[in-house]
Amino acid sequence: MTISEERVAPADLHDQVRNLLGGMELRPQGQVSPSVYETARVVSHAPWLNGQAGRIGYLLATQRPDGAWGAPGGYALVPTISATEALFATLHDIAAGRQPGERRAEIARAVDRGLTALAHLVATPALAMPDLPAADLIVPVLTERINHHLAELGARPLAELTARRGGEPLPLPQAMTDRRLVMVRQMVASGQPLPQKLVHALEILGEQARGFAGVRPVGGAIGAAPAASAAWLRGPQDNSVVVQYLATAGRASDGAVPCTTPISVFERSWVLASLVRAGVPLEVPSTLVTSLVQSLGATGAATSPGLPDDADTTSVTLYALARLGYPVAPESLWHYDVGGYFCTWRGEDGSSITTNAHALEMLCWWSRHAGRDDARWATAAESVTGWLLAQQCADGQWDDRWHASPYYATSSAAVALAGYGSGTDVAPAVDRAVEWILRTQRADGSWGRWDGTAEETAYALHLLCVADPARHPGIDAAIAGGAEFLDRVDLDAEQPALWHDKDLYHPTAIVQAAVLAARHVCATRSRLSAESR
């Protein structure tokens, strides 16, 4: 992220918002950062696809100095094991004459360093593994593949490799087993249909994924994922729509692919909801509204074609449409009511703070503004309020399974509770969240889990701007410092990935909308404060 010493002179907010909305029309697939995990899986599963050299170059360029890939701690495991396996497979292909060998020595050094980093990661006591989708399947599968590559070294030594690890296989992290992988393999072997949510990670089936009979492309993709799509291809002669999907998904400069794509509904609903929630004046193209209306079915909307409908995307889509003047009754949300809270999708392993914050926001908005005095809405809102309050950490924050940063979950939950929660416990909970935000501001005015970021600073400011300054000394100075930080940020520069998929990703337009909305609420608050003096 680029931070200047002086304030960036941003364009007029209206122009920035108009450009943001226009960009979503021009790029209907959505704007998502490239993924080390997904790119490496395409390298490994479909080495014959055009752009292989660029994808390998991307993996080499993104390796960290310590040999790992990705974010700190447990977040490094999935991208590191994926990239190391892909480059190891490439090295074997080069040795067998199946791939050109111009970068053989460089690839071997990267594999050496990756193996060393993996050995350190899996040996770390109580490695804190984040709640990433399918990680408990991905890591065992790729551990098997790496151990197969290591075993091959006995028969076909590669002189460039020095990190042989004494021939010992790579173990799983201490807290992980292959139990769920064994169950999935048994299910597939027995002919049972693959659950829709597992299609997103079809690559875990290895060779069985090729042309898997129970799966068909949706929108050109398998499970809305390049990795699953590459694994499904039957071989170099495959000319299916999936090949075109992968070509389109790849970045022009190097062929690196993102995680979930397309993300049209997700991107459009989150962008519009962020802006209308903050009161930003909007002139929304009719095509964006129409696309969101059309995305809704009996069980709501999905993040991407080929993924199951979910309560999070459904809630935010309904909220954005309602606030824009196109209300749709949220009957589909009852599909996710599991008693006391809402699941993200049926059969979810775990639960989500932000899904329930968004559901609370939508249910309460509908009951207040749509003229529906239905006790069911009120009862559900009361239950979700209680559930959210019970999930708050002792220090005042919340954290969530769909984002690496507690600032996203804390802002989502506290803003929803402040606006729509009822009961005597709501105000103290919001106060605790505000105080946690104030305590964790950095010296440069920013907020962030690992480093100060524009995204996390925007989330913090959204909460502070709905808080009562009389209850929180120092809040005005904190908001001023955060707003100054945002003014120094170049949003066109590369931003850190914080959102959860199989590894971390950055949804560009969604984050830009959050920042623009934060700038708007800070400016509005400053103006109203000046007028009241």
H/E run at residue 43:
helix 36-45
What is the distance of C-alpha 148 from the center of its chain? 31
What pLDDT was estimated at residue 155? 60
Residue whose token pair is 């993040």: 303
Residue 84 pLDDT > 50 = yes
Closest by alpha carbon to 260, among 213, 197, 349?
197
What pLDDT was estimated at residue 114? 96
Q: Give CA–CA dist 31/28, Å, rounded.
A: 8
DSSP type of residue 304: S
pTM of the entire structure?
0.94
Same domain, residue pair 430 and 489 = yes
What value does the mean pLDDT take over residues 164-177? 81
Q: Give CA–CA dist 253/268, Å, rounded.
A: 25
Closest by alpha carbon to 140, among 82, 192, 225, 93?
82
Residue 320 lies in a domain: yes
pLDDT over 90, % of the chain: 79
Residue 398 lies in a domain: yes
Same domain, residue pair 442 and 523 = yes
What value does the mean pLDDT take over residues 200-211? 95
Least confident stretch, 233-242, 286-295, 521-530: 521-530
Q: Give CA–CA dist 401/130, Å, rounded.
A: 8
Cα separations in angstroms, 404 against 52, 397, 456: 30, 13, 10
Residue 164 pLDDT > 70 = no
Q: How many residues does the chain have?
A: 533
Amino acid at the residue 217: P
Mean pLDDT, the chain, as a whole number? 92
What pLDDT was estimated at residue 454? 97
Same domain, residue pair 182 and 269 = no
Task: Show the tokens assigned to 318.
Answer: 């309904």
What pLDDT was estimated at residue 273? 98
What pLDDT was estimated at residue 490? 87
Same domain, residue pair 406 and 528 = yes
Same domain, residue pair 152 and 190 = no
Q: CB atoms < 10 A from the CB of 278, how many?
A: 20
Same domain, residue pair 143 and 184 = no
What pLDDT was estimated at residue 95? 87
Residue 512 pLDDT > 90 = yes
Closest by alpha carbon to 311, among 298, 302, 324?
302
Q: For CA atoms 402, 408, 411, 412, give the dihedral sign.
A: negative
Q: Give CA–CA dist 136/176, Å, rounded.
A: 7
Q: Give CA–CA dist 533/531, Å, rounded.
A: 6
Residue 283 lies in a domain: yes
Cis peptide before 305 (omega within 30 of 0): no
Q: What are phi and psi of 66, to 5 degrees?
A: -85, 5
Residue 193 pLDDT > 60 = yes
What pLDDT was estimated at residue 8? 39
Q: Give CA–CA dist 203/389, Å, rounded.
A: 38
What pLDDT was estimated at residue 10? 46
Same domain, residue pair 422 and 300 = yes
Closest by alpha carbon to 117, among 71, 52, 149, 69?
69
Q: CB atoms < 10 A from the CB of 402, how many?
A: 18
Write out pLDDT tens, residues 466-498. 998 889 999 999 999 999 999 998 888 889 999
What pLDDT was estimated at residue 78? 98
Same domain, residue pair 84 and 185 = no
Residue 7 pLDDT > 50 = no
Residue 163 pLDDT > 80 = no
Task: Show the tokens assigned to 417.
Answer: 């509770």
What pLDDT was estimated at residue 200? 96
Residue 219 pLDDT > 70 = yes
Least confident stretch, 120-124, 180-184, 366-370, 503-507: 366-370
Residue 217: which domain range?
178-232+241-248
Domain boundary residue, one of 215, 248, 281: 248
Same domain, residue pair 279 and 425 = yes
What pLDDT was estimated at residue 240? 86
What value does the mean pLDDT take over residues 302-307? 93
Residue 26, classed as helix, strand or coil, is helix
Q: 450 and 497 in contact (C-beta within 8 Å)?
A: no
Task: Show the tokens assigned to 359.
Answer: 């559901």
Least confident stretch, 66-70, 161-165, 181-185: 161-165
Helices (H), 278-326: 286-295, 311-323
Same domain, residue pair 435 and 367 = yes
Q: CB atoms < 10 A from the CB of 237, how many?
A: 7
DSSP type of residue 111: H
Q: Give CA–CA dist 110/107, Å, rounded.
A: 5
What pLDDT was estimated at residue 422? 87
Residue 2 pLDDT > 60 = no
Residue 22 lies in a domain: no
What pLDDT was estimated at residue 9? 38
More confident residue, 93 or 164: 93
Longest CA–CA span in the chain (Å) reads: 81
What residues have CB less than 8 Å from 203, skipping those under 6 apart? 41, 45, 141, 209, 225, 227, 228, 230, 231
The CATH number that applies at residue 319 is: 1.50.10.20
Cα separations in angstroms, 151 against 68, 143, 452: 22, 12, 43
More confident residue, 533 or 52: 52
Closest by alpha carbon to 200, among 219, 227, 181?
227
Residue 32 pLDDT > 90 = yes
Same domain, residue pair 514 and 366 = yes
Residue 531 pLDDT > 80 = no
Domain boundary residue, one of 219, 248, 277: 248
What value does the mean pLDDT take over residues 194-202? 93
Same domain, residue pair 94 and 144 = yes
Residue 349 pLDDT > 90 = no
Residue 482 lies in a domain: yes
Residue 268 pLDDT > 70 = yes
More confident residue, 7 or 138: 138
What value does the mean pLDDT take over residues 166-174? 83
Residue 118 lies in a domain: yes
Q: Give CA–CA dist 502/498, Å, rounded.
A: 12
Residue 105, classed as helix, strand or coil, is helix
Residue 504 pLDDT > 70 = yes
What is the distance of C-alpha 181 from the center of its chain? 23
Domain boundary residue, one of 201, 224, 248: 248
Write out pLDDT tens, residues 352-363. 999 999 999 999
Residue 407 lies in a domain: yes
Q: How confident is the model at residue 5 (pLDDT cuts 50, 70, 90)?
A: very low
The 3-state DSSP composition of the chain as helix, strand, coil percent (nearest 5) reads 55, 5, 40
What value does the mean pLDDT take over residues 253-262? 94
More confident residue, 113 or 159: 113
Residue 4 pLDDT > 50 = no
Strand partners, 3: 489
What pLDDT was estimated at residue 137? 97
Q: 303 and 261 in contact (C-beta within 8 Å)?
A: no
Residue 330 lies in a domain: no
Q: Give CA–CA dist 415/426, Å, rounded.
A: 11
Task: Report the number of distinct structural domains present in the chain.
Answer: 3
What pLDDT was estimated at residue 11? 55
Q: Where does residue 196 fall: left (phi above 0), alpha (psi -120 to 50 degrees), or beta otherwise?
A: alpha
Write out pLDDT tens, residues 403-412. 999 999 999 9
Write out pLDDT tens, residues 377-435. 888 999 999 999 999 999 999 999 999 999 999 999 999 999 999 899 999 999 999 99
Residue whose token pair is 């049926």: 346
What value does the mean pLDDT take over residues 210-237? 93
What pLDDT was estimated at residue 322? 95
Residue whose token pair is 């151990």: 147
